């Protein structure tokens, strides 16, 4: 049984068909890349899976259970966490607090328990602290030590991307949806993020669905690649298969005029 399964998912904004009859499945411990030109519906796909939009038709199942119609925070609690293409950190909170916030769904102390620091609140707070340090430790030195208490807005762009991933990890999810994790990074950092995504799967056991424009990253990490255009799936398969698929080439580059004449 696939971990995540989309079955004929449609979404329209007025007359615009953002997604049409999309089927997609992601197996446990798989890394699947979604590619496609701008406006193909990649981020919309993420928004639909994480409950920001509801599909107008079709079904989405996670671990075999439908998650359609659930509020976004419940879906994340079920085990799908995401990052945002246009970074959406809690800029005025510290690095550590950003990560701690994402554990809200796994903790249960009521406000009164927190105000009185009753045993459950203390126990949870300790666990949350350990979890935050563990997750931030995954990124080496970059988000550690003195960084813990710095506000997120002082971080560099690349570190903000890392913190977004850390925050998604802290939700306790099994599956991560990464929206362009390498966008705006220099070649060094891009190389590093490629390794990081592989480590997320190998060391931490995450299943990963990733949107990426950088074909080196896609080639380096993907078990499978799915190509979208105009809200529909063009093809899927290994990187080589998808990269050489005529419709994918057409979607990115347009049609060869000589071929048209024939």
Partner 1 sequence: MAPIGVDEWVARSGEKREQAGRLRRLGERLNSRVGWWPRLAALAIVGLVYGQLGLNLNFQTVGFNSVLYAILALGLNIAVGWAGLLDLGYIAFFGFGAYGYALFSSHAFGNLVALQGGIHLSIVAIIPIVLVGAGIVGVLIGLVALRLQGDYLAIVTLFVGQAFVEIVNNVDPTVFGGNNGLYGLDPWHGLGGRIGTLNGYYYAALVILIMLMAGLHLLDNSRTGRAWRALRDDPLAAEVMTVPVNRLKVMAFSFGAIVAALAGIVFAAQQRSVFPTNFQSSVLILIYACLVLGGVGGIAGAVLGGVTVTVVEAMLSSPTDSSYLFYGLILLAMVARVRPWRHLALMLGAIVGFGLALRAIVGAISHAAIAGPPGSVGWIGTVMRHFVIVPTGSITYGNILFAALVVALIAIVQLRGIWRQVAIVPTVYAAACCWESRLIVDTGVTAQIVLGAILVVMMAARPHGLLGTRRVEVV
Binding site for partner 1 (CB under 8 A): 50, 52, 71-73, 76-77, 81-82, 84, 88-93, 97, 100-107, 109, 111, 114-117, 121, 124-125, 128, 140-142, 146-147, 153, 156, 167-168, 171
Of 192, 186, 185, which Cα lies nearest the Cα of 141?
192
Residue 6 beta carbon to partner 1: minimum distance, rounded to whole angstroms: 18
| Cβ nearer to partner 1, comparing 171 with 222 | 171
Of 192, 81, 180, which Cα lies nearest the Cα of 142?
192
Residue 230 beta carbon to partner 1: minimum distance, rounded to whole angstroms: 26
Residue 248 beta carbon to partner 1: minimum distance, rounded to whole angstroms: 30
**Tokens 């430790």, located at residue:** 137
| Cβ nearer to partner 1, comparing 93 with 215 | 93
| Cβ nearer to partner 1, comparing 141 with 261 | 141
Residue 107 beta carbon to partner 1: minimum distance, rounded to whole angstroms: 5
Residue 241 beta carbon to partner 1: minimum distance, rounded to whole angstroms: 33
| Cβ nearer to partner 1, comparing 64 with 146 | 146
| Cβ nearer to partner 1, comparing 167 with 233 | 167
């Amino acid at each position: 049984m696939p971990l995540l399964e989309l079955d004929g998912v449609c979404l329209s904004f007025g007359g615009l068909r953002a997604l049409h009859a999309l089927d997609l499945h992601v197996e446990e411990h798989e890394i699947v890349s979604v590619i496609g030109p701008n406006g193909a519906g990649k981020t919309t796909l993420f928004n639909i899976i994480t409950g920001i939009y509801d599909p107008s038709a079709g079904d989405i199942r996670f671990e075999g259970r439908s998650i359609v119609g659930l509020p976004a925070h419940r879906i994340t609690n079920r085990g799908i966490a995401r990052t945002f293409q246009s970074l959406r950190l809690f800029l005025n909170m510290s690095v550590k607090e950003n990560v701690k916030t994402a554990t809200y769904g796994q903790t249960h102390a009521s406000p009164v328990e927190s105000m009185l620091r009753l045993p459950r609140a203390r126990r949870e707070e300790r666990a949350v602290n350990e979890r935050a340090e563990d997750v931030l430790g995954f990124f080496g030195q970059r988000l550690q030590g003195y960084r813990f208490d710095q506000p997120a807005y002082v971080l560099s762009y690349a570190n903000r991307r890392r913190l977004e991933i850390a925050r998604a990890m802290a939700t306790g999810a099994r599956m991560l949806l990464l929206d362009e994790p390498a966008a705006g990074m220099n070649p060094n950092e891009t190389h590093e993020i490629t390794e990081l995504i592989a480590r997320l799967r190998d060391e931490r056991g995450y299943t990963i669905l990733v949107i990426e424009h950088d074909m080196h990253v896609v080639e380096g990490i993907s078990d499978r690649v799915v190509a979208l255009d105009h809200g529909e799936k063009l093809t899927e398969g290994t990187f080589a298969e998808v990269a050489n698929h005529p419709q994918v080439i057409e979607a990115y580059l347009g049609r060869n005029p000589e071929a048209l004449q024939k």
